[in-house]
Amino acid sequence: MNLARMPWLFMPRPMLTHNVQPIAVADLCDAIVRLMQSDARGIVELGGPRPLTMAALVASLRQQMGMRATMVQPLPVSITRLSARCGDYVSVSPWCSASLEMASHDNCCDPQTAADALGRATIAPEHLLATLTRL
């Protein structure tokens, strides 16, 4: 949410080119409860209905907040790597070398898995903000 409030964004290039598959917190919690009550075993990958880049997710959140589009520029590779290495030494930082490595690849799954666990379609990215207000 904080990224979506920024007047301009400098993002690591992988966040502009590689996809994630955001799932609403409410959907994730509901799916976990249902899976715990089921006979499902093993690793279950859960994701939202469709993949998009982190930049596209931020743009969607801005639109949901009634804000206009912001300028998004890629961070230079050297700054991206340095910032990730610095994050390795800050235990509360979500940005580190492992995050950079993960962001450097698409991180997606079959959306039907979450829909099957929920018994309904997952919440689309353009409706994520509305789900946060009901928690």
Structural domain boundaries in the chain? 2-77+106-127
pLDDT digits (tens, 9 = 90+) for 7-25: 889 999 999 999 999 999 9
- pTM for the whole structure: 0.85
- Position 135 confidence tier, pLDDT thresholds 50, 70, 90: very low
Residue range 73-84: mean pLDDT, rounded: 97
Three-state secondary structure of 56-107: HHHHHHHHHCCCCCCEEEECCHHHHHHHHHHHCCCCCCCCCHHHHHHHCCCE
